[in-house]
Every structure is written in C-alpha cells, then in structure tokens.
C-alpha cells in the first residue's frame, strides 16, 4: 500500500477528532449518542474528539517507529525526489533519536500520546472528580512541553531541507491536543462542564 494512503488513514482519525472539537462536533457526535450518553454534552464531545486525536497521534507515531526500524534494516520506506522524504530524516542517524535517552522519536511519540490518552480517558471516566482540573492542566502542560521538541524536529527538517510528512502529522496531533486541553480547561471553569449536575440541582 502506498505510504501516503496509510498516512491519510492516520490523518482522517486526527481530522475527525479535530472536527469533534469544533462547533460542528455536536452533529458529528450524534453517532455516539446511543452508546455513550456523555457525548450529548459539550464536555463529552471534546473528550471524544481528544480520544481520536490522541489515538491518531499514537498510530502515526507507531508508524514512524516502524519506519525507523525498517530503515535500520536497510530498506527504503518513504523516499522520493521531492522535499517530502521520510527516509532522509527518520533514517538520518544524526537526528532520528532523542538526544537525552537515545530512543527513536517514534517511540517518544507513542509514549507521549499514550500518556495523553490516559489523561483524557481518566477525565472522561470521572469528570466530576476533584482531580479532573489537575489532569486537564497536566495534559495542557504536557502538550506545551511538546512544542520545543517539535521545534527541535522542525529545525532538523530545515537543516536537511526535507519534510517528513508522518512526523508532521504527529506534530499537528500534538498541537490539536494542546488546543483540545485548552478548550477542556476553559469548559471546566464554566458551568457547562457539568450540565447534568446543574439540572439536578435546579430540580431540587
């Protein structure tokens, strides 16, 4: 299968998550209403969107780790004569591991998106917990911390004069997750976070 066809699958997952974060998310979320009651709320839509974004970020990171391993075997996975070339970056031994632990960037991405997924799922499972704002701030902090890392990787791309489309999609997923956590943060501070509780309270 063409590598860009596979990339578009990751992209579609992330795009769907992004749309769930936008105002049109309410109509997109209707497909989940039957199974997940919470997606009828703004909070549920945002969290559902974040699950898709984190999952897409995770799968594309796993794919870059797969490419990293394939390239170490001496195979070509995504090369070309254009500026879009993963082999030149993921296969570049000077840049393809993090300078701190020496681990492939794909693995770092997998760990990061797993951690973000854990935060999102924890918030989703117990949104009324007093710990929820802490988890939201944790997610916000983690995605902000990802920005300098993205900056470093983009600097490698500039240095080599190449763009790695798979890496770029993972970077975009991190930025969307940042926006998502920011929206959750704002929502958490408003009354819209728990409309059910408000309804029950006014009934009493």
Partner 1 sequence: MDVNGFGKDGENMNSMLHNEEASARSDAGIVAMSMFFAGLLIVAFTTSPIASGTQVGERAPIFSGEAYDGTSWKSFEFEDFLDLTWSWNSTNDAPWIAVEFLDTDCYYCKEQATQVGEWAKTYSAEQWIGPDVIFIAIAVEFVSDSSRAEVVEFRTQYNNDFRFVDDLGISIAKEWDVTATPSYFLVQPDGIVAWNSGVDKLGWDAKEEDTFAITSDDRRVKLNEAIEVITLLNGGEQ
Q: Residue from 13, 14, 65, 183 that binds partner 1 (CB under 8 A)?
A: 65
Q: Residue from 115, 149, 163, 179 that binds partner 1 (CB under 8 A)?
A: 115
Q: Is residue 62 classed exposed, middle or buried when 0-12, 13-18 and 19+ CB atoms within 10 A define those classes?
A: middle
Tokens of 87: 């082999």
Are 95 and 59 contacting, i.e. CB atoms less than 8 angstroms apart? no
Cα separation, 78 vs 158, whole angstroms: 18
User: Which residues are CB-contacts of 201 (< 8 A; sequence separation ≥ 6)?
Assistant: none
Binding mask 10-49 for partner 1 (x = CB under 8 A): ----------------------------------------
Instruction: State the number of binding residues for partner 1 (CB under 8 A).
Output: 33
By C-beta, is 110 or 140 nearer to partner 1?
110
For residues 85-104, which are near partner 1 according to CB under 8 A?
Answer: 91-94
DSSP letters for 147-162: HHHHHHHHHHHHHHT-
Instruction: Supply the DSSP symbol for 91.
Output: T
Q: Using CB under 8 A, which of the segments 16-24, 108-116, 140-148, 188-196 binds partner 1?
A: 108-116
Phi, psi of 104 (to 5 degrees): -60, 145
For residues 125-184, which are near partner 1 according to CB under 8 A?
Answer: 125-126, 129, 131
* Residues forming the site for partner 1 (CB under 8 A): 55, 58-59, 62, 65-66, 68-74, 76, 91-94, 110-111, 114-115, 117-122, 124-126, 129, 131
């Amino acid at each position: 299968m063409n590598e860009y066809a596979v990339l578009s699958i990751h992209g579609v997952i992330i795009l769907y998550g992004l749309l769930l974060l936008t105002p049109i998310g309410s109509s997109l979320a209707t497909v989940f209403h039957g199974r997940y009651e919470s997606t009828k709320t703004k909070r549920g839509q945002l969290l559902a969107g974040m699950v898709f974004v984190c999952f897409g970020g995770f799968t594309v990171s796993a794919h870059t780790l797969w490419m990293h391993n394939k390239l170490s075997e001496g195979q070509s996975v995504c090369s070309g004569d254009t500026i879009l070339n993963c082999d030149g970056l993921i296969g570049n031994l000077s840049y393809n591991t993090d300078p701190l632990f020496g681990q492939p960037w794909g693995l770092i991405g997998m760990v990061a998106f797993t951690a973000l997924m854990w935060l999102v799922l924890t918030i989703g499972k117990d949104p009324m917990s007093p710990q929820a704002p802490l988890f939201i701030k944790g997610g916000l902090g983690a995605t902000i911390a990802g920005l300098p890392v993205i900056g470093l990787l983009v600097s490698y791309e500039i240095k080599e004069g190449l763009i790695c489309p798979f890496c770029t999609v993972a970077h975009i997923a991190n930025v969307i997750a940042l926006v998502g956590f920011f929206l959750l943060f704002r929502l958490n501070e408003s009354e819209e976070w728990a409309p059910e509780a408000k309804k029950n309270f006014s009934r009493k």
